[in-house]
Amino acid sequence: MPTLPRLPHAVLAGLLLCPAGVAAAAADTAQNANDAHGETRTASARPDTPLTTASETLIDFSPEAGYDAPLAGNAMTAERTEHRGQTWLEVRTGTGNDYPGMSLPAPNGSWDLRGRRTVALDVVNLTDEPMQLAIGVNMPGGDQDAQKRIWNARDFGPREAATLEIELCNTPWVLDPPLDLVGMRSAPGQSPIDLREIVKVVPFLRTPKTEHHFLLGNLRAEGILDVLDSADFLPFIDRYGQFNKSEWPGKIHSDAELAEQLAAERAAHAARPERADVNRWGGWTAGPQLEATGHFRTAKHGGMWWLVDPDGRLFWSHGVDCVDPRFGGTGVEHRESYFAWLPPVEAGGDDPLSEHYGVGGWAPHGFYADKVPFRMYDFYNANLHRKFGDDWRTGFADLAHDRIHAWGMNTVAAWGSAAVYGQKKTPYTAFVWINESPKIAGNSGYWGQIHDVFDPRFRAAVRKSIQDVETDAGESTDPWNIGYFVDNEIQWGSPTGLAIDVLTSPAEQAAKKVLVEDLRETHGEIASLNAAWGTSYASWDALLRSTAAPPDAERAAPDLRPFNLKIYDTYFRTVKEELRKIAPDKLYLGCRFAWQNDEVVRASARYCDVVSMNKYEFDVSTLRLPADIDRPLIIGEFHFGANDRGMFHAGLKKVDDAAARGDAYRHYVGGAVRNPQIVGTGWFQYMDQASVGRADGENYNVGLVTTTDTPHAELVEAIRDVGDAMYEDRLAAGQ
């Protein structure tokens, strides 16, 4: 099995594709699941009583309706008030909880929401501060089990009045009888949860920084889903990897249409004049001339942070992640009935498209998690093969550069292919996974355990991982390389969380030895620690050998917080030192925070040239690092998706349709351009994920292009609009 060191396991999720012969051999050892593809569920998707009205009230807050559930929760209180001739809840929140919210239980124990499209309530923001409000819909057990609840969030501007809603089904129709369609985060014709028994709805805020004050209107269920007969549904994926039950603009029906689309796109690129005010790096030649160092660097100019290109021109990174054809695979084993066409498994036969089979070697979540290895097929690569012939890899790379330049972008962002950025036509960011490092045994994170930074093997792993990124492109000295991201979306936890994880690890854990020694230096005698923590350890050795968490984390916090800080500092310092030895002229672009606290961000800023965050929000214009940090910030990931063009999941930020994706892009990146700290954005990702799921089930409509390599026209237009004006807009924002 080939190794792909630049492909993130957290993003590719197992698309380690092998030759088709290996894939066939893997099939002999893979588990055969007889309950996995298209079996009919016994429960009906239809409500017991046919729906006759487009909307029904679930909770009426008026006094005469008699709803008597407690109107309070975690850092959230409410009271009834009159507004616009009806009774609303007037809600106030504090900041003492990361997710202030309250439960609104069903008045009669539960609701049967089968057949409904959405749950909705009206919201009025009563303050001059923006807020992000979410709504959760829970089955029994949903508080403890994420598989038994769904939620959606919306940003509300100052004084804005709007509707917050959550879709109950991923498509505007439901399959009946339901099919057990697997391997997807979101499958067509079904709800992510069982709608027969919904026990409560939970409005909540996500990590608010200030107190909020708003109104909530009556809770209601809206819309009626169409019903499709599941007997005729399979197969539902065509030979191009597309949904075969609907039509949309840009859908491909033949190889001839692929060729026509490519010719039209090339003609459009040729007709678009090149910008005269940018140089070969994409730097702004109409702006000021700064010192040229031959490499990318950072500078503050006019009150705004910037990148500076090798020639000394201002540069703002307008990029896209995953410019690599190896991101399109989907599991076919155990799900063969989903596909109207698959080529013969063995390569070397009459069908050259058989070479696009491979083996899924990593699936941390979902249906395939216990089925590794399993056979996969890459429809995206097959479509490239149809478009470009046997030299499809070169065709992909050439067209990717042409698109980036024609669309007003300038960066091959994280996880680009060396075969693409090695052409030295577009600046890029290198990516390093710290592999084969020792881990903290007591830790668990969404993408895996965190490194034990006190183990001597950690530094060696960092060094080797950076060295392993080097290819013929010469990343460590290449002037086209902006810098290095190292790691991605580490779950740093609370300000004491990692220290607690260390305490629950075995005695031989290097970090635990360091922690116990630090505690010994602080307290001297074990009796002092016992008095502080309310514990009864017999000795320091007993503490070392214990794997229990402190009984009272708050009492232990004064000792645990400093050790957490020590972990943070050691991690970033070690990476910085090793990166400087290997690539002294390259920027350290951080670890791409998704979950962070202020202290780990401060540690990052001490060592990183640029702090990086993956920010799946609708607006980042007001995003700031903690007040005492003056550092540039880069957005590593963001996206917006919709389900109007044959896809079943809109990704992490859903909008209504393809046009709204473009509007959201203009707003988000336009706000980033005007933000004094942000020096770039990286859209996740270049192509849509497979409609029936990558190895871990993600099947998001988040690409700039479809699985047939067809650009999403509305999104591309928005990207051009932002790219054409971004330098003038940023300079003006700083004045």
Domain ranges across the chain: 9-38+238-273+316-414+611-733, 55-176+189-232, 497-565
Residue 97 has a pLDDT of 80
If you ran DSSP here, which 8-state letter would residue 31 be given? -
Task: Work out whether strand 297-301 and strand 329-331 pair parallel, antiparallel, or are unpaired.
Answer: unpaired
Q: What is the pLDDT of residue 43?
A: 59
Cα–Cα nearest to 192, from 165, 219, 174, 204? 174
Query: 617-636 burial by CB neighbour count: b if 16+ within 10 A, else e?
Result: bbbbeebebeeebebbbbbb
The tally of CA atoms less than 13 A away on the side-chain side of residue 466 is 24
Token pair of 314 as six digits: 């201002």
- 55-176+189-232 has the same fold as 9-38+238-273+316-414+611-733: no
Q: Cite the DSSP H helix spans in 140-288.
A: 255-271
Calpha distance 409→344 (Å, rounded)? 39
Low pLDDT (below 70) residues in the chain: 1-44, 347-348
**3-state SS track over 629-652:** CCCCEEEEECCCECCCCCCCECCC
Could you give the count of Cα atoms lying within 13 Å of 95 in the half-sphere of its Cβ?
6
- In this structure, which topology does domain 9-38+238-273+316-414+611-733 adopt according to CATH? TIM Barrel (3.20.20)
Alpha carbon dihedral 391, 393, 398, 401, in 10-degree steps, equals: 170
DSSP string, 224-245: E-EEEEGGGT---B-TTS-BSS
Widest CA span in the chain: 80
Chain segment 280-312, per-residue pLDDT in tens: 999 999 999 999 999 999 999 999 999 999 999
At 640-697, the pLDDT tens digits run 999 999 999 999 999 999 999 999 999 999 999 999 999 999 999 999 999 999 999 9
The answer to whether 243 and 647 are in contact (CB under 8 A) is: yes
What is the residue type of 695?
A
Q: Quote helix, strand, coil % in the chain, to nearest 5.
A: 30, 25, 45
- pLDDT computed for residue 1 by the predictor: 27
Q: Distance between CA atoms of 680 and 612, rounded to whole angstroms?
A: 10
Say if CB 712 and CB 320 are below 8 A apart.
no
User: 696: which DSSP letter?
Assistant: T
The Cα–Cα gap between 194 and 147 comes to: 10
Under a CB-based contact definition with an 8 Å cutoff, are residues 170 and 648 in contact? yes
353, two tokens: 């498209």
**Whether pTM exceeds 0.85:** yes
Return the CATH number of the domain spanning residue range 55-176+189-232. Answer: 2.60.120.430
